[in-house]
């Protein structure tokens, strides 16, 4: 597990689970701040752009403790083996967080955020904590992985029962990401499918270009953390959204309110900044 320095993502402190309570004595860890626990996805490492982008966004905000789960040693190789590893990774991570909660960390400010397979790891973490009487207030899935979870090979996928508020951002539904509504609030930018605006329409499998739409989920999330305004409308489907047959508006990303329920649609720009504000739902 990695604690990110409040001033720069270049300054990180790594701790093994067996020594996790040392985190509470670290001057960079402020018990008065909420804590975000970020979990990367398949074939990713903690120094990848996806993780650094999200970490940097929280550093810029300055009002969160930032913890990152580095499970790269179990996130590579045969995908089916990785899917089976998720339950083990989630259980051990949940036990570690449980130690922190029992020794002074406030559960009220805890926010679990997972990308792709990491979303399902985060769900297991939340379940472990719930068994120990710690209910996670918010769990966010960034394009939760589809293959191996619908139907589930080993671990049930992320769902609305896992935390008080579960919000999902879909960007590659039906391919790398799930096409199903699984949270209290599910956001579908550009219908939640590939090809997301700005991504190449034709790609080779398992290349950076091929992951473009899948990766948009953490890019949108990071931008929302630093103030990007992703305004969506609650609607029955994307066609109804395009026709303007929707009413209720909501923010996708960090500002999503816990009382939200249903499916929400919006448009984004093809390049950064991706957020279109109120023009994204017209």
3-state secondary structure of 244: coil
- CA atoms 229, 234, 237, 241: torsion sign: negative
Tell me the pLDDT tens digit for each residue of 134-166: 999 999 999 999 999 999 999 999 999 999 999
Q: Under DSSP, is residue 165 helix (H, G, I), strand (E, B) or coil?
A: strand
CB 68 within 8 A of CB 90: no
The number of beta carbons lying within 10 Å of the beta carbon of residue 25 is 8
Q: What is the pLDDT of residue 147?
A: 96
Q: What is the mean pLDDT of residues 232-242?
A: 96
Q: What is the pLDDT of residue 209?
A: 83
Catalytic residue among 111, 120, 214, 251, which? 214
Nearest to 192 by CA among 153, 232, 158: 232
- Measured CA to CA in angstroms, residue 199 lies from 8, 49, 170, 251 at distances of 29, 17, 15, 23
- Residues 6 or more apart whose CB falls under 8 angstroms from that of 22 comprise 15
Pick the more confident residue, 280 or 229.
229
| pLDDT score of 7 more than 80 | no
pLDDT-based confidence at 10, cuts 50/70/90? low
Q: How far apart are the first and last CA of the chain?
A: 42
pTM confidence score = 0.95
Query: Is a pLDDT exceeding 70 seen at residue 6?
Result: no
Q: What percentage of the chain exceeds 90 in pLDDT?
A: 84
Cis omega (within 30 of 0) on the bond before 33?
Answer: no
Of 65, 60, 63, 62, the C-alpha closest to 4 is 65
Distance CA 128, CA 111 (A): 15
Q: Rounded distance, CA 117 to CA 157, Å?
A: 9
Evaluated on CA atoms 150, 264, 222, 107, the torsion sign reads negative
Q: Residue 19's CB: how many other CB atoms inside 10 A?
A: 11
**Which residue among 143, 162, 167, 186 is the active-site one?**
143
Residue tagged active-site, from 50, 116, 173, 217: 116
Counting every residue, how long is the chain?
282
The two three-digit tokens of residue 100, written as one number: 């922190």
Q: Write the CB contacts of 89 (distance below 8 Å, at least 6 apart in sequence).
A: 69, 71, 74, 121, 124
Active site residue 70: no
pLDDT of residue 203: 79
Higher-pLDDT residue of 45 and 34 is 34
177-231 residue pLDDT tens: 999 999 999 999 999 999 999 999 877 777 778 999 999 999 999 999 999 999 9
Does the annotation count 214 as an active-site position? yes
Cis peptide before 195 (omega within 30 of 0): yes
A 10 A CB-CB count for 151 gives: 7
**Distinct helix (H) and strand (E) counts, the chain:** 6, 11
8 is catalytic: no
Task: Determine contact, residues 9/71, Cβ cutoff 8 Å.
Answer: no
| Domain spanning 2-281, CATH architecture | 3-Layer(aba) Sandwich (3.40)
pLDDT at residue number 60: 93
**For the chain, what are the domain ranges?**
2-281
- What is the pLDDT at residue 8? 58
Count how many Cα atoms sit within 13 Å of the Cα of residue 155 in the half-sphere of its side chain.
31
Query: pLDDT, tens digit, for every residue of 105-140?
Result: 999 999 999 999 999 999 999 999 999 999 999 999
């Amino acid at each position: 597990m990695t604690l990110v320095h409040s001033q720069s993502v270049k300054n990180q402190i790594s701790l093994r689970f067996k020594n996790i309570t040392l985190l509470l004595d670290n001057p960079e860890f402020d018990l008065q701040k909420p804590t975000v626990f970020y979990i990367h996805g398949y074939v990713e490492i903690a120094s990848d752009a996806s993780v650094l982008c999200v970490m940097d966004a929280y550093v810029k905000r300055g009002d969160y403790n930032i913890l990152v789960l580095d499970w790269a040693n179990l996130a590579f190789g045969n995908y089916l083996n990785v899917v089976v590893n998720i339950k083990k990774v989630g259980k051990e991570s949940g036990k570690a967080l449980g130690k922190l909660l029992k020794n002074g960390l406030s559960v009220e400010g805890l926010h679990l955020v997972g990308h792709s397979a990491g979303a399902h790891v985060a769900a297991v973490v939340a379940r472990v904590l719930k068994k120990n009487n710690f209910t996670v207030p918010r769990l966010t899935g960034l394009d939760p992985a589809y293959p191996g979870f619908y139907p589930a090979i080993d671990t049930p996928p992320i769902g609305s029962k896992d935390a008080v508020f579960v919000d999902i951002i879909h960007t590659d539904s039906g391919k790398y990401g799930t096409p199903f509504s699984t949270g209290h609030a599910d956001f579908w930018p550009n219908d939640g499918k590939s090809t997301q605006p700005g991504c190449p329409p034709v790609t080779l499998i398992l290349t950076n270009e091929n992951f473009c739409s899948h990766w948009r989920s953490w890019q949108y999330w990071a931008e929302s953390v630093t103030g990007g305004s992703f305004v969506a409308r609650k609607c029955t489907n994307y066609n109804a959204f395009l026709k303007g047959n929707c009413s209720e508006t909501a923010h996708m990303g960090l500002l999503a309110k816990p009382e939200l329920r249903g499916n929400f649609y919006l448009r984004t720009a093809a390049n950064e900044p991706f957020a279109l504000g109120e023009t994204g739902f017209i």
